[in-house]
Amino acid sequence: AMGQQHGERLKDRIVSFVDVRFAAMEIYTRDRGRSTGSQGVMDIGRASLAIYADWDPDGYQELKGIAMGAGLSPDVLYTATNMTDMRDVLLLSDAPPDAEGCSSLVVSPGLTADGHALAGQTWDLNPSDIDYVVAIRRKPTEGLQTWTVTCAGCHTLVGFNESGLALGTTNIKTAGS
């Protein structure tokens, strides 16, 4: 139900975001010498979505709700909202990672004044994604509320729950993606 509300409420922005993401993916892959552009990325997206559905059934149901509310197929929404990971699989399966991507850091508790670990990251959005950044408060029927920043149609990208646990995603590229 939360996913469907998300999809219905932000439908126009989600559909536009998906279009922008696929256009960006096409340009990105061609700029890196791939003559067929992003051809094949939907196959990667479908295979990844099947793994995700088994790994996180509740998250998968929420994604399906977002897609339904926005009038999109789940595999298209999943591929677009996970664009950086999908394109990395397409481009980096046999190549070393390039220098682009987010940076992250962790400072161990022994090195901080209050004895708590610190974590941080950059959130290097594509310039075309900026218009789609939204803040979402999620109130599930079971589990903790969350306050997050994400892009229209995406699951949480960075945020925290009502217990104060912070959570974020980053795009740290690896060889053999």
> Does the pLDDT of residue 89 top 80, yes or no?
yes
Which residues have C-beta within 8 Å of that of residue 63, sequence separation ≥ 6? Answer: 3, 52, 74, 77, 78, 155
Instruction: Give dist(CA 79, CA 91) in Å, integer.
Output: 15
Instruction: Give dist(CA 73, CA 2) in Å, integer.
Output: 17
The pLDDT tens digits for 107-150 are 999 999 999 998 777 777 778 889 999 999 999 888 899 999 99
Q: Which residue has the higher pLDDT, 64 or 175?
A: 64
170 confidence band (pLDDT: 50, 70, 90):
low
Nearest Cα to Cα of residue 103 among 43, 59, 168: 168
Which residues have C-beta within 8 Å of that of residue 168, sequence separation ≥ 6? Answer: 121, 123, 157, 158, 159
